[in-house]
Structure 1
Amino acid sequence: MLKRLRRKFCAITLLLVGLVLVAALGSTFVSAANTQGEITRSMLEKSLDTGFAQPPTLGGGENADRAFVVTLDVSDAGVVLSRSGAAIEVSSDQMAGIIAKAIQSPSDSGHSKKLHVAWMKRQTDSGFTLALCDTTSRDSAIARQLGMDVAIFVGAMAALAVVVRILSKWALSPVERAWDQQRRFISDASHELKTPLAVICANSQILQRDASIPEGSRRWVESTAEEADHMKGLVEDLLTLARADEAAAGTTEDALRHDEVDLSSLVDEAALEFDAVAFERGCSIDSEVAGDIVVRGDADQLGRVVRTLLDNATKYAKRNSLVRVRLTQAGSHAKLTVANRGPLIEPEDLEHLFDRFYRTDKARSRQETGGYGLGLAIAKSTVDAHGGKIWATSDAAEGTCFHVTL
């Protein structure tokens, strides 16, 4: 969770600063390009007014390139009647192409980026007066400006990424401390509760076997024993989650086992195990398991994931319906799907299904459905620890489906 928060913090900061940089550098670049364009346009207009021109240089210094301008009197057919001004280094064919393009264009000005020539025309009695300007210096200046802006952007974003990564750790340190304290509290509290619960369960069992207790009082003993068993299950689930959190945070020496697990046999056995459970709940299991699918991981933990999904599917399935279990191989991944026909899950609930203690139906109590809302959270922790993915879909066409890839 903390890693995701840090990534989001970095991404949002880089995005916002990147947009500001793009806006600032982009406006500077556009302004410079417009300024160069206005200078070129001004020289072309002056050339058309005076008939010839050799304007001053666009750049500074003695070695700056000169922006030469030539004016042409051109007939309607594109024949050059006269010319004046400086020479432009373009071939006769290229010049003819520029003249033809200028005459045919509905606009009074244009620019050939390939030849680095800008033009402007004015209608005359005999045809057109055409002014051509060498924009080599202008185009080079704009290209240099663009390259410099890109270099500034890349360098600034790289430096910012380093700084933001450092700042994100500092900014999220209070959240990290709170998360660690919560994880330690759950772990410590669960451990501390195990001993008194063991005593309560043991004493309740002794009292249940005591024949001297009146029948009227025995129901209180049985109720106490039942609730103690429920609380024991909750504590065990909390300990499982605490160990998963510690393993994910790297604060425990317990390493996840990476044995070769015959997932096909594991799913087959779990489906067979839940056949009787499904029958009691008024549904049945239809399993289709591809053979010889092997994954690396912890067989006990993966078995718990499969049983949790089967337990949920049979618990919420409609009577006389099928719970479908499918295990297939997709490339280098194993895909498990457990689906049922039961109450559909609303889209806003789907994203919270794997949250701890979350229930889609707030009106239902634990006594009605069993469990504490931790089974799917444990399943997700287990799948995440194995480098896999788990998610759920729910629609009228397919029913409610839980998907796992490993």
Structure 2
Amino acid sequence: RTPISNLKTHTEVVLSQERKIESYQDNLYANLDDLNKISRIIDDMLFLAKSDNGLIIPKQENIELNALVCKLVEYYEVLAEELKIQFKVAGHGHVLGDMLMLSRAISNLLSNALRYTPPHNVISIIIATEPGFVTLSVKNPGETISPEHLDHLFDRFYRADPARRDGDPSNAGLGLAITRSIISAHNGEIWCTSNENVTAFHTSFPQVVSQPG
């Protein structure tokens, strides 16, 4: 069932009998939450449609990846503590790109790692500068992804494990597709490796020399 059909069914059930004002209010708030999630899905699909037509043009800002990652990690720190998961950030590197877009892409990778990392483990974010390019990898312990799924992880609506389709409209399987679109718009690459219960998403960007000030 689609998120819209779920919302329609829920509304029909609410209207099927008279209820107290408070009950209507509670159900309207629940519907509003679902509508916000559906709205985000539509926004994501519009972003991907623009990407398909070459309409995503990143700003050209000199970005220090360690500082950006640390800021994003700080945002996820409360959730990580609840899940008994820690972050470890290492390395430095400068890239030329759009701060908001890259924040969204890396945030998707961190969120994905948190979703599939068992408690009492560490998510590692490793930044490295190589001749001509900069890499950023997000590694997390967890169930190994089968090789036949790796090439499809960035496909829209794809799920390596169908059992993880929990019906949550916000978990529509678009995050990694958007991440790939953003990385590609920055002339970068992204790929995934998974073996011995460690999964890593690797990204590579053209290197930019840091400018003073």
The answer to whether the superposition gives a TM-score over 0.5 is yes
Structure with the higher fraction of residues in strand conformation: 2
Unaligned regions of 5+ residues in structure 1, if any?
1-212
TM-score normalised according to structure 1 size? 0.44
Alignment of structure 1 residues 5-404 onto 2, 5 Å: 214-247=21-54, 252=55, 255-290=57-92, 293-367=93-167, 370-396=170-196, 399-404=198-203
1:35-83 deviation digits (Å, cap 9, x = unpaired): xxxxxxxxxxxxxxxxxxxxxxxxxxxxxxxxxxxxxxxxxxxxxxxxx
Opposite residue 139 of structure 2, the aligned amino acid is A
* Separation (CA, whole Å) in 2 of partners of 1:345 and 1:221: 39
* Separation (CA, whole Å) in 1 of partners of 2:88 and 2:66: 15
- For residue 255 of structure 1, give the secondary structure of its aligned residue in structure 2: coil
- For residue 157 of structure 2, give the secondary structure of its aligned residue in structure 1: coil
Opposite residue 266 of structure 1, the aligned amino acid is L
Aligned sequence identity (%): 31
Structure of larger gyration radius: 1
Contact conserved, 1:313 with 1:338, CA < 8 A, in 2?
A: yes
* Separation (CA, whole Å) in 1 of partners of 2:28 and 2:158: 31
- Give the Å deviation of 1:269: 1.1
Contact conserved, 1:268 with 1:289, CA < 8 A, in 2?
A: no
Contact conserved, 2:64 with 2:95, CA < 8 A, in 1?
A: yes
- For residue 274 of structure 1, give the secondary structure of its aligned residue in structure 2: helix
Opposite residue 179 of structure 2, the aligned amino acid is A
Instruction: Give 2:13's aligned residue.
Output: none
Opposite residue 342 of structure 1, the aligned amino acid is G
Q: How many residues align?
A: 187
- Give the Å deviation of 1:275: 1.6
Higher relative contact order (CA 8 A, sep 6+): 2
- For residue 363 of structure 1, give the secondary structure of its aligned residue in structure 2: helix
- Give the Å deviation of 1:370: 4.5
Contact conserved, 1:281 with 1:315, CA < 8 A, in 2?
A: no
* Separation (CA, whole Å) in 1 of partners of 2:192 and 2:128: 17
- Give the Å deviation of 1:326: 0.8
- Give the Å deviation of 1:363: 2.0
Contact conserved, 1:321 with 1:341, CA < 8 A, in 2?
A: yes
1:125-179 deviation digits (Å, cap 9, x = unpaired): xxxxxxxxxxxxxxxxxxxxxxxxxxxxxxxxxxxxxxxxxxxxxxxxxxxxxxx
Opposite residue 283 of structure 1, the aligned amino acid is I
* Separation (CA, whole Å) in 1 of partners of 2:166 and 2:35: 14
Opposite residue 28 of structure 2, the aligned amino acid is V
* Separation (CA, whole Å) in 1 of partners of 2:76 and 2:169: 17
Structure 1 residues 334, 298: closer, same or farther in 2, change over 3 A?
A: same
- Give the Å deviation of 1:339: 0.8
* Separation (CA, whole Å) in 1 of partners of 2:27 and 2:70: 41
Unaligned regions of 5+ residues in structure 2, if any?
1-19, 206-213
